[in-house]
Amino acid sequence: MTTERPSSGTPLRIAVVHNLDFSEDEEDDPSSGGKANAEIVEVAACVAQALRAAGHRPLTLTVRDSLDGLIPALRASRVDVVFNLVESLGGESRREPELPEALTRAGIPYTGNSATALTRSFDKRQVREALAAHRIPIAPGCVVSTEAELERVAAAGLRYPLFVKPALTDGSIGVSQASRVASLGELRAQLEALWAALGGPALVEEYLPGPEINVAIFPDGEGRTRLVPTLIDFSDNPADCHPIVTYACKWEEASPEYFARTVPLGDRVPDATRRNALRAAEAAFHVIGGDSYGRVDLRLDGAGRPCVMDLNPNPDLHPDAGFVLALRGIDVPYVHLIDTLIRRALTRSRPHASTAPRSRPRAARCALAVG
């Protein structure tokens, strides 16, 4: 495995930067995403260990409410690259783009996607509009912010069962078994529960009955982007649980929903469906300006058509997370994955390297690199 090195031939000095803008008291609070927040500390330790195994010299820095003092600290430490694991600042996920924005201004290379991609992917309402404008399949739906706007559901002709989720959260925060609703009464109750816990707008979409497919997007360091499809296997969950990725499914080990697994897609869907899922995932990632690693979540509608549900630039890098498991399934070890993201950051930072997303020619190359 080759690694980019400074001209002196010495190991790279890499700052692993993550947020620490949460308290231990929040860990058991699903509405705040406590367990999802707490995991970032473990992910940072895993990344640092992998960087040492790859021959680099990592140091770990944390941020809380602001980035004040971070850039001077990076310069004082003579950092070559920042491994960006910041997911929020001051407890606000919408501030995730601030670090790549600051690093770009400072001319410091960093892993992961640009501030533009992170900003575009945050608001699920805007993502829906962008995907629809590019004719990328999505579930029929609408945005509801108040009880007075419930009439939009009928006006849009949406058919039950419906699926309700917050428009401004990630990590499955606000998603539970109650998110699938079968009547107006259930819809109203779930919206009221979301507004009480989280506030903000909610997406109401037709529930997609088909299997859930995740597509990992990985720039492999050799000039290619690999698309690796996996499936969420709910077969070990209780029969009375809807097959959906809830907060409990992701984060609560004591939950009966926690037994859902990420497995290779293989031949679990027809070849044409697989190809359509990969095309839709790549096109969606292109729409938000994705220029590094990511994950796109899709489900099949009643006609077997893959529809994009969510876009995740900079997905979870925990060794047990779906993105990492997908790459492990095509024999990409964790150390190689982490080292490749560093090499991608260095390549992107070169003056002659273009980070602008490419359109159809790039799509054709990606289709040949499917894992």
Within a domain: 96: yes
Residues 216 and 286 in one domain: yes
Residue 226 belongs to a domain: yes
pLDDT of residue 28 exceeding 80: no
Residues 165 and 203 sit within 8 Å (Cβ to Cβ):
yes
**What's the pTM value of the predicted model, to 2 decimals?**
0.88
The mean pLDDT value for 94-120 works out to 97
pLDDT at 90 over 70: yes
- Do residue 185 and residue 224 come from a single domain? no
In a domain, residue 218? The reply is: yes
Structural domain boundaries enclosing 319: 212-368
Q: Are residues 50 and 188 in the same domain?
A: no
Q: What was the pLDDT predicted at 279? A: 97
Percentage of the chain lying above the pLDDT 90 cut:
76
pLDDT band at 353 (very low <50, low <70, confident <90, very high): very low
Q: Tell me how far apart the alpha carbons of residues 342 and 110 are, in angstroms, rounded to a whole number.
A: 8
Structure tokens at 13: 């000095």
Q: What is the pLDDT of residue 315?
A: 96
Using CA atoms, how far apart are residues 340 and 29, in angstroms rounded to an integer?
35
Nearest CA to 313 out of 326, 297, 300 is that of 297
Is it the case that residue 366 has pLDDT exceeding 60? no
188 and 252 share a domain?
no
On the CB side of 27, how many CA atoms lie within 13 Å of its CA?
Answer: 8
**Are residue 175 and residue 238 in the same domain, yes or no?**
no
The last residue of a domain, from among 93, 112, 131: 112
The per-residue pLDDT for range 338-352, each reduced to its tens digit, is 999 999 999 887 754
Query: Would 120 be classed as within a structural domain?
Result: no
3-state percent helix, strand, coil for the chain, nearest multiple of 5:
40, 20, 40
DSSP state string for 277-341: HHHHHHHHHHHTT--S-EEEEEEE-TTS-EEEEEEEES----TTSHHHHHHHTTT--HHHHHHHH
d(CA 58, CA 72): 17
Structural contact between residues 149 and 200, judged by C-beta atoms closer than 8 angstroms: no
Mean pLDDT for the stretch of residues 94-106? 97
Start-to-end Cα distance in the chain: 19
Phi, then psi, of 83 in degrees rounded to 5: -90, 105
C-alpha 284 chain-centroid distance: 13
Taking CB atoms within 8 Å and a gap of at least 24, the contacts of 263-267 are 263/230, 263/231, 263/232, 263/233, 264/229, 264/230, 264/231, 264/329, 265/213, 265/229, 265/230, 265/231, 266/231
Whichever domain contains 89, its CATH number is: 3.40.50.20
- Indicate whether 6 belongs to any domain: no
- What are 131's two structure tokens? 């995907």
157 and 57 together in one domain: no
What is the reported pLDDT for 24? 56
Q: Is the residue at 2 inside a domain? A: no
DSSP state of 163: E
Residue 152 sits in the same domain as residue 183: yes
Provide CB contacts within 8 A for 358, sequence distance 6+. none
Query: In this predicted structure, what is the pLDDT of residue 367?
Result: 30
* Residue 7 vs residue 289, higher pLDDT: 289
Provide the CA 227 distance to its chain's centre, in angstroms.
Answer: 14
Peptide bond into 72 cis (omega under 30): no
Q: Provide mean pLDDT across the span 252-272.
A: 92
Please check whether residues 30 and 104 belong to one and the same domain: yes
Which residues are CB-neighbours of 121 under 8 A, at least 6 positions away? 127, 288, 311, 312, 313
Query: According to the model, what pLDDT value does residue 364 have?
Result: 27
Positive or negative: CA dihedral 83, 88, 90, 91: negative
User: CA 217, CA 225: separation in Å to the nearest integer?
Assistant: 7
How many angstroms separate the CA atoms of 51 and 346, rounded? Answer: 15
Q: Residues, the chain, total?
A: 371
Please report, for the domain that includes residue 337, its CATH number: 3.30.470.20
Query: Domain of 166: which CATH number?
Result: 3.30.1490.20
Q: What is the pLDDT of residues 282-327, one digit of tens each?
A: 999 999 999 999 999 999 999 999 999 999 999 999 999 999 999 9
Query: What is the count of structural domains for the chain?
Result: 3
Structure tokens of 34? 């406590």
Q: Which residue has the tokens 């903000």?
A: 200
Whether 70 is covered by a domain: the verdict is yes
Q: What is the pLDDT of residues 53-84, one digit of tens each?
A: 999 999 999 999 999 999 999 999 999 999 99
Residues 146, 222 contacting (CB under 8 angstroms): no
Q: What pLDDT shows up at residue 65? A: 95
Give dist(CA 285, CA 117) in Å, integer: 9
168-186 pLDDT tens trace = 888 888 999 999 999 999 9
Of 112, 127, 151, the position where a domain reaches its end is 112
The domain boundary, picked from 175, 206, 237, lies at 206
- The answer to whether the beta carbons of residues 333 and 313 sit under 8 Å apart is no
Is residue 198 included in any domain, yes or no? yes
- Region 29-56 average pLDDT: 83
Is residue 297 domain-shared with residue 202, that is, in the same domain? no
Say if residue 62 is in the same domain as residue 96. Answer: yes
Q: What is the mean pLDDT of the chain?
A: 88
User: Which two structure tokens, joined as six digits, stand for 36?
Assistant: 């999802």
CA distance 134 to 89: 32
Q: Clarify whether residues 282 and 343 are in a common domain.
A: yes
Better-predicted residue by pLDDT, 6 or 274: 274
Does residue 222 share a domain with residue 363? yes
Q: Mean pLDDT throughout 23-33?
A: 53
